[in-house]
Structure 1
Amino acid sequence: MASSPLIFTVRRFQPELVLPASSTPREVKLLSDIDDQQGLRFNIPFIFIYRHEPSMEEKDPVKVLRNALSQTLVHYYPFAGRIKEGVGRKLMVDCTGEGVMFIGAEADVTLDQLGDSLHPPFSYLQELLYDVTGSELIIDRPIRLIQVSINKYCISIIMITAHIFF
């Protein structure tokens, strides 16, 4: 007997740009010749799922991760920039410090309910993922889109990232 598809709701907060916590260098970094290939100009989704940690009971994981991201972008500042296309379609990262797209969310689904679907290919990625208009493009867009979904049983982090090498 086939099981019925899992139905759940994801309530998303307003997308926001998370900026580096302090000023970062303003420079341009050329990407590798591999990155210039037309067939590699796409975004890759990743999903990370973590069980609830009782020691974090009084903390809001979305706020904790947003703050950690802001601090991290100080040291990994190219991720807060934008991919630009130069002469001969050469790709580069303009380290502008404009930030990473971040979305907090709440999902009414548990790890146990997801069951075997946690193994690739992850069946419910489209249900969990927020579709930010234009995020399928890589030029002049945030290099990372991070969505943190929480419930009292787990935290899922979905990261959409441009296929680039630094």
Structure 2
Amino acid sequence: MVSFKARRSEPQLVPPARPTPRETKMLSDIDDQHLLRYYETVVGFFRTCPGRTDSPGDLKGAIKAALAEALVYYYPVAGRLREEAGGKLVVDCTAEGVVFVEADADVRLHEFGEPLLPPYPCLDELLCDPGDIKAVIGRPLLFMQ
């Protein structure tokens, strides 16, 4: 079983790269279910392209810049959930941004084994901590490490 320790930066907010509309978006009745009001954990692994010589710092900067660009077009993700009268959730498109934590670790993807399937070892090292996963009102919609 692989064991490693991630070195993390302090969490920072990444806002959209350019101004976005300031508006409110209603959630559908499906998205507004009380049972779905929590943060979902997703782990993705990505290999660098063969021949690339980017340093980890370059990759972190590129990911952060790409995230800021994506938030221009997916601007509601940079907003906050708000509860209106009657308990209906809306996304307040505030452009405050999403949480981004830069991290690196002294482990290689192949050390996780083949095939790469859950449960992943040291999962707590792969994820940034969003705190209470059921407290979604007024908080960033996305936490990314």
Identity %: 45
Q: CA RMSD of the aligned region, Å?
A: 1.8
Deviation track 1:105-140 (CA, whole Å, cap 9, x = no partner) reads 011111221114731333432221121435552111
* Residue in 2 that maps onto 1:99: 97
DSSP-derived class of the 1:47 partner = coil
* Residue in 2 that maps onto 1:110: 108
Change (3 A) 1:140 1:51: same
Structure 2 length-normalised TM: 0.89
* Residue in 1 that maps onto 2:5: 9
DSSP-derived class of the 2:41 partner = strand
Aligned residues: 143
Q: Which has the higher contact order (CA 8 A, sep 6+)?
A: 2
Structure 1 length-normalised TM: 0.79
* Residue in 1 that maps onto 2:20: 24
* Residue in 1 that maps onto 2:62: 64
Equivalent AA in structure 2 for residue 75 of structure 1 = Y
Give the Cα–Cα distance (whole angstroms) in 2 for the partners of residues 117 and 11 of structure 1: 26
Give the Cα–Cα distance (whole angstroms) in 1 for the partners of residues 62 and 52 of structure 2: 10
DSSP-derived class of the 2:3 partner = coil
Superposed, which structure 2 residues align to 1:16-165 within 5 Å? 16-58=12-54, 60-116=58-114, 118-134=116-132, 136-147=134-145
Deviation track 1:77-110 (CA, whole Å, cap 9, x = no partner) reads 0000001111111010000000010011011111
Give the Cα–Cα distance (whole angstroms) in 2 for the partners of residues 116 and 129 of structure 1: 21
Give the superposition deviation at 1:6.
2.2
- Structure 1: runs of 5+ lacking an equivalent: 148-166
